[in-house]
Structure 1
Amino acid sequence: MYVDGFVLAVPTDGKEAYRRHAEEAAVVFRRHGALSLVEAWGDDVPEGKVNSMHTAVLRKPEETVVFSWITWPDKATRDAGMQKVFADPAMAGSMQHMPFDGTRMIFGGFEVIVDA
């Protein structure tokens, strides 16, 4: 399995808009090979003394930290799927009107080494 992980800051009063955005994106990702897409709204995210998810995404007081991940069968499926996702016409409007500041999103791809 392969996982894409994301941490971002979303305007707190935009939770419902973000949820709709994520649900629409999930359909496209699954159409192009993703096994699942999970969006988790920050509920118990402590601020650290040295670093934290808050500082990592430069969270503003009126924002909430969101932790997300997409699972794929393997990296090859993810690489091909991501190309198809960003070429999919269904994502064009979504990418132009994201309900968060994408410049502060942290993301990366991860090889799964334990899945207990």
Structure 2
Amino acid sequence: MNKLIITKEKSQNILYAIFALVILYTVYEVSMRKKHLAQNFAFTIGKVYKYSGYGGNEDFLVFKYYVNNIEFIGNKRRDYEMDSPLKKFYKIKYSKVKPEISEMYLTEEITDSSKIVKAGF
């Protein structure tokens, strides 16, 4: 009967390999996100509607926006030096190829109600 024996050294090597794969995947995803936003992009308006985070922290802003009448959700790290952006509208850059990829510009608040309505709100 063959028994599978995993030594401490083998298990560490497996963990290192998994860790390396996670790092490589993360780098790939970040580079693809940047590529999608650098090429073939468009702008719309999004609304910050809540804070989120882990362990009771609210380190992220959650925003929604519409592309072709489909709602998308995005998030952005919160800037604590800024006044509360909740329930406010901001400029959103999104990928035309993958509209779920986006970034919000907190320095560009939108207050024109006709533009907000046209954006789907």
Larger RCO: 1 or 2 (CA < 8 Å, sep 6+): 1
Name the structure where strand makes up a greater proportion of residues.
2
Query: Aligning the two structures, in what range does the TM-score lie when normalised by the shorter sequence?
Result: under 0.3
User: TM-score scaled by structure 1?
Assistant: 0.27
* TM-score for both structures, normalised by structure 2: 0.26
Rg bigger for which structure?
2
